Amino acid sequence: MQCPKPDCMYLHELGDEAASFTKEEMQVNTKNMNRSYYKNYIN
């Protein structure tokens, strides 16, 4: 059954494992992106 809400953002089924990441991986990558931004654009 398809979701009746056209603008729904809920993940109704699991995605590909290769495209998934953990909360910890997200936090580490966010920190690295912030450091890179400040290093390249603020200095």
pLDDT tens per residue, range 1-43: 789 999 998 888 888 888 787 888 877 877 666 666 566 666 5
Cβ neighbors of 3 (< 8 A, separation 6 or more) are 10, 12
pLDDT of residue 34: 64
Task: Show contacts of 38-43: CB within 8 Å, 24+ apart.
Answer: none
Domain count, the chain: 1
CA distance linking residue 28 with residue 43, whole number of Å: 22
CA distance linking residue 39 with residue 9, whole number of Å: 34
pLDDT of residue 22: 83
Q: What does residue 11 show for φ and ψ, rounded to 5 degrees? A: -80, 105
Q: Which domain holds residue 32?
A: 1-42
